[in-house]
Structure 1
Amino acid sequence: MISALQNMESSARHVTLFYIALIILTGYSARGEDDNDCPADGRTWLPFGRNCYHFIHGAEDVAKSYSLQDAKDMCRGYELLTVKSADENNFVVNYSPSVWKGKMNVWLGLYYDSDRDVFRWHEDDSVLGFSNWEDGGDDETDLPLMDTCVALHSNTGKWENISCTDEPENGVVCQTKAVVIRSNQSKPLMSALVIISVVLILAVSAVIWFVQQRHNPGSSILNLIEYHPPFRSPSADQTCLVEAEEINDMP
């Protein structure tokens, strides 16, 4: 009977550990992923990374282009295309054929800071980091500094210095930050699993305590989690002491 009770106690501990592990694993696997929400203003916005993009196009088979000022007006409330990584650059190149047929130069939201002698993004006034200038080119320009803008070639993804006022019109891509939406769909499931697990653990513990009370009156449910130190072999000094006592006890 004692052996059966010990087996039951061991099973209870295993069940408890199982449900604790189940709760932890469920918490990781059931977490909802964040969604990115783009503006709902009637335009077609494409999410990519943490941003949303709106490619402005004209009538079918007609590549519509705009001056820099017109581009800013069409993207009022947002920013012109801002490209800060190779992935973003490739995204624009890969999607452009769905909007424009053939080559299109696209305005980038860069301006030349003549005081610091660097390019900056209008979006957050940050200094240009990633770039993709045409082969053999760089950010140096022979244009008047206050009249230097940058365009991206939609067919190659390469960048080119152009005049902000004298150049022909270019394609327009508006950009804005996506709104991150936290998913809470997993919370009801997680709460239900926690409640069920706690109830089952309490039920198993209560059954074992009841059985133990019948065979060992006065015991407590705390005995189920009583700590039993592991067996330790005697130290060398203790062994010598025992041997000495045995020798002294010999006739």
Structure 2
Amino acid sequence: MPRTTSLPAFLLLLLGLAAHVVTDCPSSTWIQFQDSCYLFLQESIKVESIEDVRNQCTTIGADMISIHNEQENAFILDTLKKHWKGPDDILLGMFFDTDDACFKWFDKSNMTFDNWTDEEDDEDLVDTCAFLHTKTGEWKKGNCEISSVEGTLCKTAIPYEKKYLSDHILISALVIASTVILTVLGAVAWFLYKRNLDSGFTTAFSNVSQSSYDDDCVLVVAEENEYAAQFD
């Protein structure tokens, strides 16, 4: 059965192609999670405003990081614990909008999640930025007027067209793999059926041949007995 031995290698090729396609980040230095790619720049820079920090990301087609659910916050925290060698607190891509009196993300995404440790309602939030504590994953409020940072968290969304193409190719690969598996299984089942059918036919033919031979022997013996009786 040579076809069945080549099947695992074929499936591995398809899965490898799918895994390669699904990697939609700009390069291998980025880390993908859900529909976004993340880059952790551990470069120390002098800054005059938070815009200098943001430029670290915008110049490479991304923006400062925004966090939208508990799973994403946990992913960032876990990644920082594995790879981060900077300070305990790092800037998030967030600012306080005095016109609307609320915090907003620089990338203009909606504020759907927060993880604040300090929630004083009467505090003055002018020139307030948000910091992520790399040990606990909690958010802290602090002054935006900082003179330097030792690292920047950048994030970019996977383009819809690229994600759609990746999903389409992945689905196509899985459909092809399923078709091959069903075809091989069908061939194996047909082979076994034909083998059993041929085996049964041969057995039946052998039985019929043996039965005819036995009948002829009985007939010959009977004729000999009859002939011998005529001379007795």
TM-score norm. by structure 1 comes to 0.52
Q: Against the structure 1 CA distance between its residues 156 and 142, is the aligned structure 2 distance closer, same or farther, given a 3 Å change threshold?
A: same
Q: Distance in 2 between matches of 1:103 and 1:70?
A: 18
Aligned pair in 2 of structure 1 residues 66, 170: CA closer, same or farther (>3 Å)? Answer: farther
Given that residues 86 and 151 in structure 2 are in contact (C-alpha distance below 8 angstroms), is that contact kept between their aligned partners in structure 1?
no
- What is the Cα deviation at residue 53 of structure 1? 0.5
Give structure 2 stretches of 5+ with no counterpart: 1-14, 187-232
> What CA RMSD, in Å, does the superposition of the two structures yield over aligned residues?
3.3
Picking from 106, 111, 120, the partner of 2:104 is 120
Where structure 1 has 5 or more consecutive residues not aligned to the other structure, the ranges are: 1-29, 59-63, 198-251
**Is this contact kept in 2: 1:103–1:155, CA < 8 A?**
no
8 Å contact kept, 2:93–2:105: yes
Match of 1:51 in 2: 36
Provide, for residues 44-72 of structure 1, a one-character-per-residue CA deviation record: whole Å limited to 9, x for no partner.
100011111000114xxxxx366423321
Aligned pair 1:132/2:115, yes or no?
Answer: yes
Q: Percent identity over the alignment?
A: 26
Partner of 1:185: 173
1: distance between equivalents of 2:122 and 2:143? 10
Higher share of residues assigned helix: 2
Partners of 2:36 and 2:104 lie apart in 1 by 18
Count of residues paired in the alignment: 159
Name which one, 1 or 2, has greater alpha-carbon Rg: 2
Q: How does 1:236-251 map to 2 (within 5 A)?
A: none
1:132 alignment partner AA = N
Q: Distance between the aligned counterparts of 1:141 and 1:75, measured in 2?
A: 33
For 2:86 and 2:152, the matched residues in 1 are separated by 15
The answer for the alignment partner of 1:19 in structure 2 is none
Partner of 2:63: 79
Structure 1 residue identity aligned to 2:145: T
- Aligned-residue offset at 1:176: 0.6
The one-character-per-residue Cα deviations of 1:125-177 (angstroms, maximum 9, x if unpaired) are: 42x2311112xx127473452x1111101111111111112465353110011
Rounded to whole Å, the distance in 2 between the matches of 1:169 and 1:148 is 16
CA deviations 1:12-68 (Å, max 9, x no partner) are xxxxxxxxxxxxxxxxxx9x798251113xx6100011111000114xxxxx36642
The 1:70/1:113 distance shift into structure 2, 3 A limit, reads closer
2:26 pairs with 1:39: yes
Q: Deviations over 1:96-136 (max 9, x none)?
A: 1333336432211112222222111122342x2311112xx
How is 1:82-231 mapped onto 2 (pairs within 5 angstroms)? 82-101=66-85, 103-126=87-110, 128-134=111-117, 137-138=118-119, 140=121, 142-145=123-126, 147-166=127-146, 169=149, 171-178=151-158, 179-180=162-163, 181-182=166-167, 183=170, 184-189=172-177
CA contact (8 A) 2:116 2:139 kept: yes
CA separation in 1, counterparts of 2:106 and 2:153?
Answer: 14
Question: Residue in 1 aligned with 2:51?
Answer: 69
- Matched to 2:92, the amino acid is L
